[in-house]
Amino acid sequence: MKQKIDFSRVSFLIVDDNKLSIKMVGDTLRYLGATNIEVTRNPDEALSLIKKQNTDVLITEWQMESMTGVEFLDLLRNSSASPNRFLPVIMLTGHSEEPFVADARDNGVTEFLAKPFTAKGFYARLVSVIARPRCFINAPSYFGPDRRRKTMPYDGDERRS
C-alpha cells in the first residue's frame, strides 16, 4: 500500500549553503505539499533554530563551506548541547560512492540521497523518515538510527523453531 502523508503538517529545516540546491529542495517540498519550510545556510544557526522551534525533518547537504554535513551530523547526534539527537536527517550529496554513504551512515544519517534526485526518490526518503522511523542505537561508538535495513532470519546454532 502506498503511504500518503500530509506534508503540510510536517516542519522541515533545510541546511545548505548552495542557493540552487536550496531552491531545488524547497520547490520539491512545496510540490509535495509542504508549507512549513525553514532554510539556513549556516549549520550553527540550524542548531539554534532546532532549539527554538519544532523541526520534524532536517535536510542537509554533505558539502558546505563552514563544515561538512557529516561534521554537522556529528554535532547533532553526539554533542551534549544538541537540541534534538533523534531528529531525522536526510543527507544530500553529489557523491554517492560507497565510502561517502558509509561515512554518513556511520555518523547517524537517517537517509541518504544522491543528487541530482527525482521527486519520486525524494518522496521515498521522506516517507521512510516520517512514516517508518527507525529505532535509535546508543552504543559506545555510535549513536543514531539503526543501520540495519534487511530483516534476515537467524540461521545459526540454537535457532528457535
pLDDT in tens, 10-28: 999 999 999 999 999 999 9
User: What is residue 1's predicted lDDT score, i.e. its pLDDT?
Assistant: 41
| Cα four-point dihedral sign 91, 7, 33, 128 | positive
Confidence of residue 60 (pLDDT cuts 50, 70, 90): very high
Cell 531528529 identifies what position?
87
Q: Which residue has the higher pLDDT, 64 or 1?
A: 64
| Cα four-point dihedral sign 64, 135, 124, 28 | negative
User: What is residue 143's predicted lDDT score, i.e. its pLDDT?
Assistant: 86
Domain 7-145, second-level architecture = 3-Layer(aba) Sandwich (3.40)
Omega of the bond leading into 116 within 30 degrees of 0 (cis): yes
The answer on pLDDT for 155 being more than 70 is: no
Q: Of 5-14, 38-47, 93-102, give the lowest mean pLDDT range.
A: 93-102
Mean pLDDT value of segment 127-145: 89
